[in-house]
Amino acid sequence: AQSVTQLGSHVSVSEGALVLLRCNYSSSVPPYLFWYVQYPNQGLQLLLKYTSAATLVKGINGFEAEFKKSETSFHLTKPSAHMSDAAEYFCAVSVGGGADGLTFGKGTHLIIQP
Amino acid sequence: NAGVMQNPRHLVRRRGQEARLRCSPMKGHSHVYWYRQLPEEGLKFMVYLQKENIIDESGMPKERFSAEFPKEGPSILRIQQVVRGDSAAYFCASSPIRDKSYEQYFGPGTRLTVT
């Protein structure tokens, strides 16, 4: 069975600093990987996805993630944090090409310090 | 193009009552997924449906929970005889499944409170 581990339930960075949110996955087949963002009392919005093409994936709002098979990782980064980035971030894995139910990590709450 | 719609947004039920949660997928989407989010937890997959078919219900509790996606109308997640442990946010997602670019688009969720 597949699984996702997000290291750090809370991450705090200063405005303008680098954002790094960690995600490690476990899968017996080549995975599809996703990062979603959730603002308070809202649904999830897709930030970016890896679907076995380029290992460096660029998403919306300046975020990007790199798929590293040897490390089973898919960490999310943004060079310069903005106050509006404060939200909950979820990493998810699919073993059915995205057509199956996604397996989510527990989430990382990103706090932006002014 | 309207997004995934869920109603009601908030639902309060007493223990033992039934809860019905509705999900209207995006236009042109024929695949629906239901997820449950407990406090301080990520989303847990419950069920995957296509029109008139349940494709994968491996995440559904064995009792009291059922889901349908009829030929016409929204998808319904039904919880019978609710208990306090059912209090959670329930999210629906839809997907077009085309061009091998599978993306699930999420609705705003229904927050169920069982008193």
Q: How far is A85 from chain B (nearest CA, A)?
A: 19
For residue range B57-79, what is the model confidence (pLDDT) as tens digits? Answer: 999 999 999 999 999 999 999 99
Contact A23, A4 (CB under 8 A): yes
Arithmetic mean of pLDDT, B9-20: 98
Q: What is the DSSP string of B1-20?
A: ----EEE-SEEEE-TT--EE
For residue range A54-100, what is the model confidence (pLDDT) as tens digits? Answer: 899 999 999 999 999 999 999 999 999 999 999 999 999 988 776 78
For residue range A19-45, what is the model confidence (pLDDT) as tens digits? Answer: 999 999 998 888 899 999 999 888 899
Q: Which residues in chain B are contacts of A102 at CB distance < 8 A? A: 33, 35, 43, 45, 104
Residue of B nearest to A38 (CA): B108
Please report which residue ranges of B1-115 form alpha helices under DSSP H: none
